[in-house]
């Protein structure tokens, strides 16, 4: 597994430097890199999507565990480096470009390479890609069974935030919480200070594990996402004011309540009442 000195040497030998515009903050704590792979339960035969592989530190760990890795990297220079280092491994596929198309769907090349196979997302994600990628995989790709990623701690807390709780702040519970918890179990595995990365980011990070439920609360996650965004955009208003007093509120949901007091299951109930 690459040390910080080795990562620096690899970049400097090619005249490269971390690019802030690409969100390149390399995870350099080797224990945490192993913990990330351990948490994802990666082993022989696992199919892994890794976004933002950088110099390939985590990639090598995943390959050493017997996984097939589809790595998506935006930086052309790092793609050249990865091809030189890992291109001979038949279980390694590199896709050069953005993992997302228009920030709302998985790129055609990534999606076609995965096909209909079950896979896990295991990555030290660039902060800017985290929320749209996680939401896209949750909503549109049920064959993504698990995600184990390092992301900005604020995003991890939003994923895990419970209704009515202010443990992560009064506005942590929102659309991403509802969608994630309606189709998956979310767990924060560890909190990561800036010192775990190079260069050091200006924010704290977290390692989060997301396991898709065998029986999700909702079959229309796109509709749930749209309804949740509408409700939380007026989070201080009563539900009756947002949806209308004639809305067919299901039993147990008070039109005078605010959305932040509702469980994901109750918001799913609102969606089902609207379309029934």
CATH of residue 50: 3.40.50.150
In a shared domain, residues 136 and 233: no
In a shared domain, residues 168 and 252: no
Alpha-carbon gap, residue 191 to 210, rounded angstroms = 15
Of 67, 28, 65, which is closest to residue 50 (Cα–Cα)?
Answer: 67
Strand 92-96 and strand 68-73: pairing? parallel
Q: 167-216: per-residue pLDDT in tens?
A: 788 789 999 999 999 999 999 999 999 999 999 999 999 999 999 999 99
Q: 9-32: per-residue pLDDT in tens?
A: 999 999 999 998 888 999 999 999
158, 186, 212: which is the final residue of a domain? 212
Average of pLDDT values for 33-56?
Answer: 97
pLDDT of residue 167: 78
* E strand intervals along 194-265: 197-198, 205-212
In a shared domain, residues 120 and 201: yes
157, 178, 212: which is the final residue of a domain? 212
Average of pLDDT values for 225-245?
Answer: 95
Q: Which domain holds residue 241?
A: 221-275
**Cβ pair 196, 124 in contact under 8 A:** no
| Alpha helix stretches (DSSP H) within 161-259 | 175-183, 221-232, 239-243
pTM of the model: 0.95
> Which tops the pLDDT comparison, 21 or 222?
222
pLDDT of residue 171: 87
Sign, Cα dihedral of 125, 131, 132, 135: positive
Average of pLDDT values for 96-112?
Answer: 93
pLDDT of residue 104: 83
183, 212, 241: which is the final residue of a domain? 212
In the predicted structure, residue 147 carries a pLDDT above the cut 90: yes
pLDDT of residue 137: 97
In a shared domain, residues 157 and 241: no
- Number of folded domains in the chain? 2
pLDDT of residue 164: 86
In a shared domain, residues 89 and 135: yes
Of 183, 247, 251, which is closest to residue 221 (Cα–Cα)?
Answer: 183
The pair of three-digit structure tokens given for residue 230, joined into one six-digit string: 């509408």
Alpha-carbon gap, residue 53 to 223, rounded angstroms = 33
Alpha-carbon gap, residue 191 to 70, rounded angstroms = 26
Average of pLDDT values for 137-145?
Answer: 97
Alpha-carbon gap, residue 186 to 83, rounded angstroms = 34
In a shared domain, residues 46 and 166: yes
In a shared domain, residues 172 and 43: yes
pLDDT of residue 276: 61
The pair of three-digit structure tokens given for residue 215, joined into one six-digit string: 């029986």
Q: 58-89: per-residue pLDDT in tens?
A: 999 999 999 999 999 999 999 999 999 999 99
In a shared domain, residues 206 and 225: no
CATH number where 244 lies = 1.10.8.100
In a shared domain, residues 86 and 176: yes
In a shared domain, residues 29 and 138: yes
User: Residue 102 — pLDDT band, cuts 50, 70, 90?
Assistant: confident
In a shared domain, residues 195 and 241: no
In a shared domain, residues 145 and 113: yes
């Amino acid at each position: 597994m690459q040390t910080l000195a080795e990562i620096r040497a690899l970049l400097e030998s090619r005249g490269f430097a971390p690019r802030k515009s690409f969100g390149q903050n390399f995870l350099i704590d080797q224990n945490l890199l192993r913990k990330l792979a351990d948490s994802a339960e990666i082993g022989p035969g696992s199919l892994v999507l890794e976004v933002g592989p950088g110099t390939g530190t985590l990639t090598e760990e995943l390959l050493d565990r017997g996984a097939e890795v589809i790595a998506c990297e935006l930086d052309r220079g790092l793609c050249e480096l990865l091809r030189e280092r890992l291109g001979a491994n038949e279980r390694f596929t590199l896709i050069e470009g953005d993992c997302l198309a228009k920030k709302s769907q998985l790129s055609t090349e990534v999606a076609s390479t995965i096909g209909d196979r079950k896979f896990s997302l295991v990555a030290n994600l660039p902060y800017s890609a985290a929320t749209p990628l996680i939401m896209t995989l949750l909503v549109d790709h049920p064959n993504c069974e698990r995600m184990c990623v390092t992301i900005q701690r604020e995003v991890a807390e939003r994923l895990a935030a419970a209704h009515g709780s202010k443990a992560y702040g009064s506005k942590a519970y929102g659309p991403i919480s509802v969608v994630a918890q309606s189709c998956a179990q979310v767990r924060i595995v560890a909190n990561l200070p800036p010192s775990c990365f190079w260069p050091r980011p200006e924010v704290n990070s977290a390692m989060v594990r997301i396991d898709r439920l065998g029986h999700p609360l909702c079959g229309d996650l796109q509709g749930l996402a749209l309804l949740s965004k509408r409700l939380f955009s007026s989070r201080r208003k009563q539900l009756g004011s947002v949806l209308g007093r004639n809305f067919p509120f299901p039993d147990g949901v008070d039109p005078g309540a605010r959305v932040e007091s509702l469980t994901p299951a109750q918001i799913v109930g609102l969606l089902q009442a609207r379309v029934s």
